[in-house]
């Protein structure tokens, strides 16, 4: 009986820990660009920025903050009175496998009289989740966890039956069990 409890506990421990051995993704920016045409105008222009990332870590997802720097049209370093502003947007990074690339897009409005000062850059990444194994490890882990729980319940039931049999009084030598 003890052996089955130990086996169930070991199976449960191995199954529960199998999915937690994976590390976080490690996204690195490769380059950024802005779709054309995104030029200064007398009206607001709707633009799209792209920041391309490659995952050097384990499979996973995250959330990126992209920054696009804008400046007044005709601003120079000689005229510091011209205002430089930044447009920030946050976007989800989809579940990305190791070594894969992903394009994080950011839509923004270019105000009248402004121009894009530099290529968009990645300001920060927050990891929202570590992905599961590419072979469907999340589902297999849940099935394994369910089987481990079932094995543990059966072991507890068998232990309970064994204790109940031991605690039941045995019939005496001359007693045939009938009460006449």
Whole-model pTM: value is 0.56
What confidence score (pLDDT) does residue 165 get? 78
CATH code, 23-130: 2.60.40
Q: What length is written for the chain? A: 180
Consecutive 10-residue averages of pLDDT for the chain (180 residues): 56 54 83 88 91 92 91 66 78 91 92 90 76 46 62 76 74 58
Could you give the maximum distance between any two Cα atoms of the chain, in Å?
A: 117
Q: Are 44 and 109 in contact (CB under 8 A)?
A: yes
- Total H helices, total E strands in the chain: 2, 7
Domain spans of the chain? 23-130
What confidence score (pLDDT) does residue 34 get? 92
Main-chain phi, psi angles of 37, to 5 degrees: -85, 130
Residue 41 token pair: 């105008």
What is the rounded distance in angstroms from the CA atom of residue 98 to the CA atom of residue 96? 7
């Amino acid at each position: 009986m003890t052996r089955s409890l130990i086996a169930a506990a070991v199976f449960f421990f191995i199954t529960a820990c199998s999915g937690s051995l994976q590390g976080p993704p490690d996204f690195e920016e490769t380059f950024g660009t802005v779709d054309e045409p995104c030029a200064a105008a007398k009206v607001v222009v709707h633009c799209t920025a792209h920041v391309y990332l490659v995952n050097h870590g384990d499979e996973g997802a995250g959330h990126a903050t992209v920054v696009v720097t804008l400046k007044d049209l005709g601003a120079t370093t000689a005229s510091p009175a011209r205002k430089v502003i930044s447009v920030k947007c946050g976007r989800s990074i989809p579940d990305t496998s190791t070594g894969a690339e992903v394009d994080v897009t950011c839509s923004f409005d270019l105000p009248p009289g402004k121009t894009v000062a530099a290529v968009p850059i990645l300001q920060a990444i927050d990891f929202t989740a570590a992905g599961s194994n590419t072979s469907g490890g999340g589902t297999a882990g849940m099935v394994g966890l369910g089987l481990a729980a079932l094995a543990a319940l059966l072991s507890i039931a068998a232990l309970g039956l064994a204790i109940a049999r031991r605690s039941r009084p045995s019939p005496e030598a001359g007693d045939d069990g009938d009460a006449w």
